[in-house]
Amino acid sequence: MTAVYIAIGVVAFLLLVLVLLYNGLVRARNTVDESWSGIDVQLKRRHDLVGNLIESVKGYAVHERDALQAATDARAAASGARGPREAAAAEAALTAPTSRLFAVAEAYPDLKASDNFLQLQNELSHLENQIAAARNIYNANARHYNDRIQSFPGMLVAKPFGFAAREYFELPAGEGAPAAVSF
């Protein structure tokens, strides 16, 4: 009879460990999802801000269609990006046309001195810092989650229950610089 109680105790202990590991992995996965949502919000704000910059420059630089079209196309592609890898590539592609908008603004002193344009430039600079902070938080949470599902004993629970590693949100090499803001 004692052997039965010991067997029941061992099974109960193993089930408790399984439940605790599973719940910990779910919490870690949800934290990663929540931190990705923080990046997504910042990127949407960036896309809106770039749209406002495009509209500001449009009125002054009608003949600068190439710069405006490139920025518009890159913004549309970035708005449709899903997941860290696709978003990183799209955001890197958005940086160059945004910088070209600021270069176009250099040729138009009235635009460059416009309070609205200056405010948009300042907001973009501030937003780039917020995106970098959100990226750091997301990557730290993704690393913690990946560590949990790839190390023992979490890996024993992660694979059978379909927990998959998360990608880091990294810009391609050399493209992590924020959009140039010059006065």
Portion of the chain with pLDDT greater than 90, in percent: 40
> What SS3 state is found at 82?
coil
pLDDT band at 85 (very low <50, low <70, confident <90, very high): confident
- Report the helix count and the strand count for the chain, using DSSP H and E: 6, 0
The answer, yes or no, to whether residue 131 has pLDDT greater than 60, is: yes
Crossing angle (nearest 10°) for helices 115-150 and 83-106? 160
Which sequence spans correspond to the domains of the chain?
Answer: 2-158
The answer, yes or no, to whether residue 182 has pLDDT greater than 50, is: no
pLDDT value at residue 47: 87
Residue 94 CA to residue 71 CA, distance in Å, equals: 7
Q: What is the pTM of this model?
A: 0.72
pLDDT value at residue 26: 96
pLDDT value at residue 64: 63
Crossing angle (nearest 10°) for helices 83-106 and 2-60? 20
Question: Domain 2-158 is in which class?
Answer: mainly alpha
The answer, yes or no, to whether residue 179 has pLDDT greater than 70, is: no
- Matching residue, tokens 């600021």: 102
Residue 155 CA to residue 145 CA, distance in Å, equals: 11
Side chain identity at residue 134, one-letter code: A
User: CB-based contacts of 22: which residues, under 8 Å, 6+ apart?
Assistant: 157, 161
User: CB-based contacts of 183: which residues, under 8 Å, 6+ apart?
Assistant: 112, 118, 121
pLDDT value at residue 164: 95
What does the pLDDT look like over 33-45, one tens digit per residue?
Answer: 999 999 989 989 8
Mean pLDDT over the full length of the chain: 82
Side chain identity at residue 59, one-letter code: G
